[in-house]
């Protein structure tokens, strides 16, 4: 599954990144444009890693100890 980590290696997202895109229409010209409200952090690293379901129903990277609590 796709994993995003910050520059220090901490998991910041499991799954596809939600860019929160919004389509805006210019009232004068009628032209549409797309704006992203949640950009991927500058130093984020994307990788494919194994993910498991934890005891609490959450998703965890396979080597995350919190999955076992």
DSSP secondary structure string, 42-61?
Answer: TT-EEEE--EEE-TTS-EEE
Domain residue limits at 41: 2-68
> Cα–Cα distance between 45 and 20 in angstroms, integer?
19
Give mean pLDDT, residues 56-61: 90
Q: What radius of gyration, in Å, describes the C-alpha atoms of the chain?
A: 17
Domain count, the chain: 1
pTM for this model (two decimals): 0.75
pLDDT of 3-55, one tens digit each?
A: 999 999 999 999 999 999 999 999 999 999 999 999 999 999 999 999 999 88
Helix (H, G, I), strand (E, B) or coil at 11: strand
> Which of 11, 13, 33 is CA-nearest to residue 24?
33
């Amino acid at each position: 599954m796709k994993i995003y980590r910050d520059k220090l290696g901490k998991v910041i997202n499991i799954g596809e990144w939600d860019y929160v895109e919004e389509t805006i229409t210019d009232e004068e010209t009628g032209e549409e444009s797309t704006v992203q409200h949640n950009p991927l952090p500058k130093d984020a690293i994307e990788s494919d890693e194994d993910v498991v379901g934890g005891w609490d129903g959450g998703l965890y990277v396979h080597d995350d100890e919190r999955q076992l609590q």
